[in-house]
Structure 1
Amino acid sequence: MKEGKKKKPFYRRWWFIVIAVIVILGAIGAVFGDDEESAKPAAKATETVAKPKPKPKQSESDKIKSIISKDVGKKNVVKVEVNDDASTQDNAKDKVVIATLKGSENLTKNMTRKGILMDSRDLLAKLYADKNVSQVTVMWQLTLQDQYGNESDDTVVKIGLTRKTADKINWKNFDYNNFETVADTYFVHPAIK
């Protein structure tokens, strides 16, 4: 019947060879991989011991700029001005913040406006957590096109709050649609109304 076909020993079959190669490569990787990894932490440990630097104290202006960059992203920051507030008694500490930011467009004008207002609420809450911030104006820009086809970056939303107004707001429950009635300065461009 089938006398001509003999069964191969298991160590000559293809699946056994593949498994053996994988096991051998794994063993080699484990032996050589551990040496490199154990050498790296030792080098890092000596570096950290050798460089104990005191962290330089950030200025109030840098703290505010950092908060804005982290909240909206560095690529969305057009310009941030942090000035001393001359209208307060402690004008050396109190700061006026004027932030010009790049807004992000959405599917509709309404969604774009609401997204910008939500981002404004979150940013203003973080900025007013710093007691040295006395006034903030946030201006959001989008690229708009006029009737002749010319494009320019224009301010589409502007929200200004003083410390007095910001202290009245419960930021956790604040509805961003109320900026229109609550903010000291409020403007929405007709292009996104």
Structure 2
Amino acid sequence: MIDETQKPIYQRWWFILFLVFLGIGIILYSVIHTEKTETDSIDVADTIFYKKMEKEELKEKLTQSHKNPEVIAAEIIMKNFGTTYIEKENAVVSSRFESGILETIALEEKIISTKSTKHSFLYNTVEFMKVMKSQEEVTQATLVVQAPLTDRYGNVENGDVMIVLMSRGTLNKINFNNFKAENLSAVADSYWEHPALSSE
């Protein structure tokens, strides 16, 4: 009969089992951690490339004679957002039209006051939706407005401040000649504004 207490620790079954599990755990951790790091870096790179590609593609489409809704949307944004040529060009973050759905992201770089900015965003959104109503192939239009936001530490970063979505049915119901921009939140299919716009 073998006495378990006299065997060295490295020969005991429970110690060997512990080492096997420890080894498996270390291997799994390193594999998962490596995959996650690779995935994160690929996602960031793809996003940056996608945005650059989209801007270049949009600039090319702006010069064409036949303009689809994404190009028309970009022109409206350039007309209504920004004051200088550079600001107007930067105002179009993206504009995509696919299967009847239009999504445009606009950037307003200069903020004067919260009250006037909110009014300006509402007015510009109404102008945007008014033109989208005339685009029969648009079944849903979304405008995302971005602006510089300052966090409590003083860091400034562009972020969403207003998102408005309207379906074709809603667009058709609105008489834009008499429509008041203040009613946008009540009639839009989806409306969201950043709390900073309601602070004043």
What is the TM-score of this pair, normalised by structure 2? 0.59
Question: 5+ residue gaps in structure 1?
Answer: 1-55, 85-94
Q: Which residue of 1 aligns with 2:187?
A: 182
Q: What is the CA distance between 1:103 and its match in structure 2? A: 2.3
Q: Which residue of 2 aligns with 1:102?
A: 107
Q: Which residue of 1 aligns with 2:140?
A: 135
Q: Which residue of 1 aligns with 2:95?
A: 80
The 1:150–1:57 alpha-carbon spacing in structure 2 relative to 1, beyond 3 Å, is closer
Kept in 1: contact 2:109–2:148 (CA 8 A)? no
The 5 A counterparts of 1:13-92 are 58=66, 62-73=67-78, 74-84=89-99
Once the two structures are aligned, what percentage of the paired residues are identical? Answer: 24
Q: Which residue of 1 aligns with 2:117?
A: 112
More helix by share: 2
TM-superposition CA deviations, 1:130-171 (whole Å, max 9, x none): 111100110000011101122211100110000011110001
Q: What is the CA distance between 1:106 and its match in structure 2? A: 4.3
Q: Superposition RMSD on alpha carbons, in Å?
A: 1.6
Kept in 2: contact 1:81–1:98 (CA 8 A)? yes
Out of 150, 154, 158, the position equivalent to 1:153 is: 158
Question: 5+ residue gaps in structure 2?
Answer: 1-63, 79-88
Confirm or deny that 1:123 pairs with 2:128: yes
1:133 counterpart SS class: coil
Q: Which residue of 2 aligns with 1:165?
A: 170
Q: What is the CA distance between 1:79 and its match in structure 2? A: 0.7
Which structure has the larger Rg over C-alpha atoms?
1
How many pairs align?
125
What is the TM-score of this pair, normalised by structure 1? 0.61
The 1:146–1:112 alpha-carbon spacing in structure 2 relative to 1, beyond 3 Å, is same
